[in-house]
Amino acid sequence: MKLIPRKNRESGVDLFEDLEDFQREMNHLFDVGLRRPLKVSNEDALWVPTVDIVDEKDQIKVKADLPGMKKEEIEVNLENDVLSIKGEKKEEKEIKERDFIRSERYYGAFHRAFSLPSSVDAVKVNAVYKDGVLEITLPKKEGAKSKQIKVDIK
């Protein structure tokens, strides 16, 4: 841990300077701790794929980045209005025989689960995996689609 000498101020407490110091420390904390999960080794990797969820007029779209995986290694389930994506990214065997200078790719099992609105039509869910991106389309039930009605002002 880095020690920072205490500053003696002539005027006593400077609230704005204290807030700036606090902001710097918080930025440093989040920059180091939350930018990427820490990894002990490739076998113990903590890996969570990034996901975008977009609520469109007639459907909900979920996109998950799963680079380097085969579609057979990915499992998608929808049960009780919960969408779950599971899989395991296997480590390449020849990597252990090389001398790496740096290794930042993550391996291991993952599981993501998302609560969905009950307006999703579970029978019509569609998933496509292409170029390392899993795209899941969750159509909304006919009665749940938002309808716009023009109201005349009198």
- In sequence order, the 6+-apart residues with CB closer than 8 A to the CB of 53 are 60, 61, 62, 114
pLDDT tens digit string along 36-87? 444 433 344 467 889 999 998 899 999 999 998 999 999 999 998 899 999 9
Q: What is the pLDDT of residue 97?
A: 60
Q: What is the pLDDT of residue 36?
A: 45
Q: Write out the CATH class of domain 51-142.
A: mainly beta
Domain ranges of the chain: 51-142
* Identity of residue 4: I
Residue 50 and residue 31: Cα distance in Å, rounded? 18
What share of the chain has pLDDT > 90, as a percent? 33
Q: What is the pLDDT of residue 21?
A: 81
pTM over 0.85: no
The pair of three-digit structure tokens given for residue 2, joined into one six-digit string? 């880095």
